[in-house]
Amino acid sequence: MVTGKVAANYQWSGDAVYTMDQADEDDFPLAFAVPRESTNIYFDGWVMLKSGIGDDAAKQHAAEAFMNFTSRADNAIRNMYYIGYTSVISGGDDMRIFEYADWCYGAEEEEENVSDYDLGYFFSGDHAEDKENRYVISAPSDQVYRQLFAQYPSQEAILRSALMVCFDDEQNQAINQMWINVRCYNIHDIPVWVWGAAGAAAALLAVFGGRKLLKAAGR
């Protein structure tokens, strides 16, 4: 993408942020976009398997302690810093995760071209009293469609997104064909008039080429 050979690419949000960061080093800014139609919401999570714990109270306690440990705000921040992906943990009443987002993407005091970026939908949940500008980042305006947008899509983008479900064979075939149509040029999409013009051009070339051959043979 930095070389200009690829105009658009499908990427997970964390990988997209890494790519944009690398491109910035080459003074080649890239943007992150969500299709108008929809996109998928995805997340990875830890689970406790009943078959692994069984009736062992000590194993269950250890598993729950590990889940609680990884869900702590400070450890969620450590994970985000290391892997580059947004944690599903908002921190609840703990403001450190929001403060970390603000530290990463908030504008410097001397910056003038800034925009307010509301993250209340992610951090406040259903607490209406917390939504009064408590979770608004004053960010550089270009971040509205770049790293900040990739890490924390706007509420409008989230509302037109959906969780993917397991597809059957017919749905998988349709999804694969849609991807092929995006990635490759579909010859069936060429209008009839283009085929006609191409055919006429080929016919003219054949006529002129034939005349040249006849002249050459006559000599």
Residue spans of alpha helices (H) in 72-160: 73-83, 96-105, 120-123, 147-151, 155-159
- Classify residue 11 by burial, with Cβ atoms within 10 Å: 0-12, 13-18, 19+: middle
**pLDDT band, residue 117 (cuts 50/70/90):** very high
Does residue 184 register a pLDDT over 80? no
Q: What is the mean pLDDT of residues 99-107?
A: 94
Does residue 102 register a pLDDT over 80? yes
Q: What is the mean pLDDT of residues 44-67?
A: 85
Q: Are 7 and 30 in contact (CB under 8 A)?
A: no
Distance CA 81, CA 100 (A): 9
Among 10-24, 109-123, 147-161, 204-218, the minimum mean pLDDT is found in 204-218
Task: Tell me what percent of the residues of the chain surpass a pLDDT of 70.
Answer: 89
Does residue 127 register a pLDDT over 60? no
**What is the predicted pLDDT for the residue at 151?**
93
Q: What is the mean pLDDT of residues 93-106?
A: 93
Higher pLDDT, 125 or 172: 172
**What is the predicted pLDDT for the residue at 10?**
84
**What is the predicted pLDDT for the residue at 48?**
78
Q: Would you say how long the chain is, in residues?
A: 219
**What is the predicted pLDDT for the residue at 191?**
78
Distance CA 30, CA 146 (A): 7
Does residue 165 register a pLDDT over 90? no
User: What residues are paired with 41 via a beta bridge?
Assistant: 163
